[in-house]
Amino acid sequence: MTTFLLVRHGETADNHNQVFQGHGGGPLNEVGLAQAKRVGERLATVHLDAIYASDLTRAAETAQAIADHHSIAVAIDPLLREVDVGAWQGKRREVLEAEFSEEWAAWRRGEDIRRGGGETYAEAGARAHKLAADIARPELEHVVVLVSHAGTLRALATHLVGAPLDAFAPVRNTAVSCVEWRGEGLARLAFWNDTNHLADPLSLLRPR
């Protein structure tokens, strides 16, 4: 059985400012670095066989905070990138509502559209699932961390577990989710969106 630990990256300035990042976005901000440190500490005593991360900086930085507690090099793979949001990238909600009103309304209704000419959740999930299937070792007790992004992790979960996208709540920064995978059609969602390592939010508050 392969146990996939799905981890979202820590907070960035764009997350804080509610900007859609897509394939762009910058590094972790101060809060994000603290979150990454916390999730690294949480997984420090867990046996890990591999750590994979999106090639976007925010995910790679979070993965390294986990790898710092293990003798494992982070494997960077663009298949774990965030869902491509095309022309939505770098824009805030109010701008999108004005400039892409029909697309915005369709997305808010739950339609799996190519936002801004980018890709669908289904397409992003399929590419991430290709990586997961390639590295899975169902015949072994194998634990793999995949550090990725909110949209991609939800989309990947639909492929691994076989549930619809709306079955998975939006993923919080550095949340850990766990899927036990024994092969196609043989997976169990152990838990989703767990942020117990951030249980003391006061230490993450920004100064005035």
Model confidence over 7-51: pLDDT tens digits? Answer: 999 999 999 999 999 999 899 999 999 999 999 999 999 999 999
Verify whether residue 9 is a known catalytic residue: yes
Res. 206: pLDDT tops 60:
no
To the nearest whole percent, how much of the chain has pLDDT over 70? 96
Query: Lowest-pLDDT range, 13-22, 55-64, 100-109, 133-142?
Result: 133-142
pLDDT of 203 = 55
Task: Pull the structure tokens for residue 74.
Answer: 């982070």
Query: Which amino acid appears at position 25 of this protein?
Result: G
pLDDT of 139 = 82
Q: Which residues contact 194 (CB under 8 A, 6 or more apart)?
A: 175, 176, 177, 178
Verify whether residue 82 is a known catalytic residue: yes
Rounded CA-CA distance 86/37 in Å is: 31
pLDDT of 199 = 83
The answer to whether residues 148 and 80 touch, using CB atoms and an 8 Å cutoff, is yes
- Side-chain-side CA neighbours of 192 within 13 Å: the count stands at 15
Q: What average pLDDT does the structure give for the chain?
A: 94
Rounded CA-CA distance 85/21 in Å is: 8
Res. 208: pLDDT tops 50:
no
Q: Is-above-0.85 flag for pTM? A: yes
Task: Give SS3 for 7.
Answer: strand
| Given the residues 61, 82, 103, 119, the one annotated as active site | 82
CATH of 2-84+120-204, one of 3.30.950.10, 3.40.50.1240, 3.60.20.10, 3.40.50.620: 3.40.50.1240
